Amino acid sequence: MKTHFKFELSCLAAAVTLLLAPTAMAGQVQGKAALAVTQAQGLIGNHLSALKADGDDNFEARDAIVDADGTEHVRFDRRWRGLRVIGGDVVTRSQRGALRSASLTLRSALRPKGKARLSAQDAAVEAGARFGGRVDKVYSNEQVVYARGTQPVLAHEVILQGAETGRHSGLVKYYVDAASGKVLDVQDLVQTAAAVGTGKSLYYGDLSIATDRKSATKFDLIDTTRGNGAVHDAQDKTVSDLFSILFLNGPVLTDTDNAWGNNSTSDRNTVGVDIHYGVGVTWDYYKNVHGRSGLAGDGKGIKSYAHTTFKTQSGAITGANAAYVALTNTMFYGDGDATRGFKPVVGVDVAGHEMTHGVTAKTAALAYSGDAGGLNESVSDIFGALVEFHANNANDPGDYRIGEMVRTEAGKALRDMYNQAADGKSFNCYPAGGFDPALASGGIHDPHYTSGVGNRAFYLLAEGAAVPAGSGLTQAQLVCNGDTAIAGIGRDKAGKIFYRALTTKFTSNTTYPQARTLTLQAAAELYGAGSAEHAAVARAWSAASVN
């Protein structure tokens, strides 16, 4: 049965659509990257068949990476007759003026015939019925070509904001088939770390932190050495309020003597120190290990909000969460909730996880449903763990557990990457048929559950079938195919392989089997085809049932 409700098309709709729509890179890149874009755009016209394009397809450059040897990787979004093609993005790989390969997930060169039979209003009604709670606003309702399935179809992309239901955050994107009214895809736009619900830091001891001196008695928690990233005070407002997400401009945390916090939550600046530290460590990891300056590679810092709250299914307010919102490239951190087993959600691996959502949004833009959604969350867990190892803080030694610092019960974590299915919901092994986009956002194929496949593969690639201390597991329980002889290649090499695949090969609709192929390509480029590293990638994916 359809749920009918009054739609209030906000005056913000156009602004939100502008934020979501891909834009050409003209004027946004310089030097070698700009030249790579120009050359790739010239090459595309001669390879339309390979790109599954027709005469009405247009390509808009979004990102460009040039290797030291001159190999050019240019990422394009696609439009057809002016409509965005969801799942139509492509990464071209060129060298010496010749197109060497292209990475894409679009399966068909066919395009939709006829006009949409379902109106935008009716599409919003269908999305509202699936929303399952009070809908306050329709922030975007745009006709697109949905190409994440076997054949591209006309669809409506509908973004709804309203009450959280426990199944989603209250800010959700739907793709509704413009012919049948079927909901094809559900993606939560608030990508969270947990689904429940000198500075004196809470978790990491006394730290030396970079701040911004405004006067002799006023210092702001702004890191002038890392792109002016700042920590603001959300003043306990909720992320589910879209006005807060778009326009919340809470004050930057300040101090009078540049001595921040007291190692306790009795001082509101204390968790700000932890956030500031986590953001800085994540920046340093990407800069020092991968040569990436800032999430977008543009040298700009990120805005973070301390003291954020979230709504539970019952409507109660909780601080037991952290989130990244791609709409505004902003991070939100909660103060915890003892009744739900959470201390303030400001651990280093949480910061690394959330900021990696930003890196993903600026590169592969992996969708937040289906296999791509699992990969999206898995990539954040992978690099969140690598950031924790990189921090090398004795108060929080590196491990493959996500969020163990923020749990009140000893021994608990949000996820164990090597055995995520221990939570009774997640997947360690890839199922036949993969994961369904329509069963994401709070369903059985929510990205927080499907990420276990990628997490296990990465653990095995880095460490091999080595049983983590204190896990109580056996080697046989670490693999899905009985291959307990896997030897790891180390975190550094494994991280570089996944980073290269994410930034130069993955597209928005990459599946787990495709991720296997693309990480194998990355390993071959970095370490050689047939190398030990290349062979280890294949065995690790097979041990997670991805073949």
pLDDT in tens, 58-102: 999 999 999 999 999 999 999 999 999 999 999 999 998 999 999
23 shares its domain with 88: yes
506 shares its domain with 477: yes
Q: Domain range spanning residue 493?
A: 465-542
Measured between alpha carbons, how far is 244 from 239 in angstroms, rounded to an integer?
6
- State which of 188, 216, 244 marks the end of a domain: 188
Residues of the chain with pLDDT under 50: 1-29, 194-197
- The one catalytic residue in 60, 72, 142, 354 is 354
- State which of 161, 188, 215 marks the end of a domain: 188
224 shares its domain with 164: no
- The one catalytic residue in 307, 353, 448, 534 is 448
Measured at the CA of 20, the angle between CA 164 and CA 329, to 5 degrees, comes to 70
Measured between alpha carbons, how far is 412 from 395 in angstroms, rounded to an integer?
16
What are the angstrom distances between the C-alpha of 392 and each of 83, 281, 389, 396, 399?
47, 10, 5, 8, 10
In a domain, 176, yes or no: yes
Specify whether the CB–CB gap between 422 and 412 falls below 8 A.
no
In a domain, 504, yes or no: yes
Measured between alpha carbons, how far is 532 from 538 in angstroms, rounded to an integer?
10
Is the pTM of the predicted complex or chain greater than 0.85? no
Q: How many CB atoms lie within 10 A of CB 55?
A: 7
Measured between alpha carbons, how far is 279 from 36 in angstroms, rounded to an integer?
31
Q: How many CB atoms lie within 10 A of CB 249?
A: 8
In a domain, 146, yes or no: yes
Catalytic site includes residue 157:
no
H or E element at residue 542 = helix 532-542
Q: Could you give phi then psi for residue 542, rounded to 5 degrees?
A: -60, -35
26 shares its domain with 79: yes
337 shares its domain with 380: yes
- Burial label, 245 (beta-carbon count in 10 A; 0-12, 13-18, 19+): buried
251 shares its domain with 353: yes
In a domain, 489, yes or no: yes
In a domain, 279, yes or no: yes
In a domain, 60, yes or no: yes
In terms of phi and psi (left: phi > 0; alpha: psi -120 to 50; beta: otherwise), the region of 205 is left
Instruction: Give the pLDDT score at 313.
Output: 63
184 shares its domain with 209: no
Beta bridge partners of 393: none
CATH number where 308 lies: 3.10.170.10
Specify whether the CB–CB gap between 321 and 463 falls below 8 A.
no
145 shares its domain with 227: no
474 shares its domain with 364: no
In the chain, the largest separation of any two C-alpha atoms, in whole Å, equals: 68
CATH number where 488 lies: 1.10.390.10
- State which of 188, 223, 246 marks the end of a domain: 188
Which amino acid appears at position 136 of this protein? D
268 shares its domain with 386: yes
261 shares its domain with 325: yes
Which amino acid appears at position 352 of this protein? G
42 shares its domain with 129: yes
Number of independent structural domains in the chain: 3
CA Rg value for the chain: 23
Instruction: Give the pLDDT score at 279.
Output: 96
In a domain, 446, yes or no: no
In a domain, 27, yes or no: yes
